[in-house]
Amino acid sequence: MVFKTRYLIMMLALISPTQSIAAEQSLSWSSLSLQEQHTLQQFQNSWDKIAAKRQIKLRKGAKRWAAMNPDQKQRAKAELQRWKEVPKDKRIVMRQRFKRFQNLPPEKRREIRSKRKWFKSLPEGKRFDLRQRWQQMEPAQGQRLRHSWRNNAPQQRSKPFTMQQPNQKQ
């Protein structure tokens, strides 16, 4: 249980946005609140060896954990379990994609979120069909589709529904 809590706190700290640190100074263990110390107790013996940025991330993760209600904590634990089941190589790719996403301009991130929301609003069967068609496409066809999607007006963006099967000629 301690390991799961520790891992959850680390995951929360990783996804928590960080602010720049004015001075790269470590936080002393005694500077943490009693609640933070309790939540982070597994780090107590090695706290002074942890880099300042990581300490701040862990502290923010502990604060987020403390602010969660039991239902939120249960969901976080379930997400952690799902994350641990993802193969390591896929987790690496996911982290890289997340970093790339975070480095995008705000308007591009909004656009991606909007497209994801649209995709999630589709019936499960339609999403499955689109995913399969996308995965079966040849790379060049996917690039053309991506390019036309970016350059079309919103009312013309029904392309994914009308795209041809990979074996058909355009």
The CA distance from 144 to 53, in Å, is 42
Tokens of residue 32, six digits: 């943490």
Question: Which pLDDT belongs to residue 23?
Answer: 46
The predicted model scores a pTM of 0.53
Asked if residue 141 has pLDDT above 80, the reply is yes
Residue-level pLDDT at 20: 43
Confidence of residue 143 (pLDDT cuts 50, 70, 90): confident
Check whether 75 has a pLDDT greater than 90: yes
Q: What is the pLDDT of residue 105?
A: 94
pLDDT value at 19 more than 50: no
Q: Each residue of 35-68: pLDDT tens digit? A: 999 999 999 999 989 999 999 999 999 999 999 9
Cα dihedral sign, 135-137-139-144:
negative
For residues 86-96, average pLDDT:
95
pLDDT in the model for residue 25: 75
